[in-house]
Chain A
Amino acid sequence: GQNIDQPTEMTATEGAIVQINCTYQTSGFNGLFWYQQHAGEAPTFLSYNVLDGLEEKGRFSSFLSRSKGYSYLLLKELQMKDSASYLCAGTDSNYQLIWGAGTKLIIKP
């Protein structure tokens, strides 16, 4: 079967670092995406990984291990505006996205 698992909710402190994990099982694999979704808004693209390793983009980094079916999103220097849901999505053999339920990140001052 196809499945994307990520924690339902996480809490972190402003200025700190947080790592959001995602494990995936898809019928094929053509890359893994992370999206950010603020409450009541549409998802917006954060990152894409297809090869193993870390992709850094400013305060956000994303890591992929294809052999372990595992990814994480790392957010540094947390700001209050980072309070949002973070969606992990893997691609299947038809290049369609299979989405996790999202991790709601709560930032406390």
Chain B
Amino acid sequence: IAGITQAPTSQILAAGRRMTLRCTQDMRHNAMYWYRQDLGLGLRLIHYSNTAGTTGKGEVPDGYSVSRANTDDFPLTLASAVPSQTSVYFCASSEESGTYNEQFFGPGTRLTVL
């Protein structure tokens, strides 16, 4: 593995189903982030983690949950998917949170909720 990987690459999901998007990094970065990107809108932060064992809510956390059991993994769970959660989801990481937190992005997961 080099950098950040996300799985699945794309997914079509029925409304009401539970879904976990996976994210793994091998750079030993302390901080990790989940964003969604919708046409015409900027990246919006869903949840973040400044270090393993801690998480925080971003701009649009409702309907999503995260966990950070170790440094490398940061899964995002949709407990009961709704069509408004159709989006491209990017996981990112940075060496630290704080000033100059250059973020490295995974390839994204394209999720469609029907």
Contact = CB atoms under 8 A, between A and B. Distances in A.
Interface of A: 4, 30-31, 33, 41-45, 48, 50, 87, 89, 91, 95-102
Interface of B is mostly: loop
A31 B102 CA distance: 11
Interface residues of B, number: 22
Contacts of B105: 42-44
Contacts of B48: 96
Contacts of B100: 31, 48, 50
A41 B48 CA distance: 21
B42 A99 contact: yes
Contacts of B108: 41-42
B84 interface: no
Interface of B: 35, 40-45, 48, 58, 90, 97-108
Contacts of B90: 42-43
A108 B99 CA distance: 37
A30 B99 contact: yes
Contacts of B42: 4, 87, 89, 98-102
A45 B103 CA distance: 7
A51 to B, nearest CB: 12
Best-surrounded residue of B42, B44, B90 (most CB of chain A within 10 A): B42
B49 to A, nearest CB: 12
9 contacts: A33-B102, A43-B90, A43-B105, A45-B102, A89-B43, A96-B48, A96-B58, A97-B103, A99-B44
Contact of A95 (B35, B41, B98, B104): B98
Given A96-B48, A96-B58, A101 B40 contact: yes
A101 B37 CA distance: 9
A94 to B, nearest CB: 8
Contacts of B44: 99
A31 B43 contact: no
B22 to A, nearest CB: 16
A95 B98 CA distance: 5
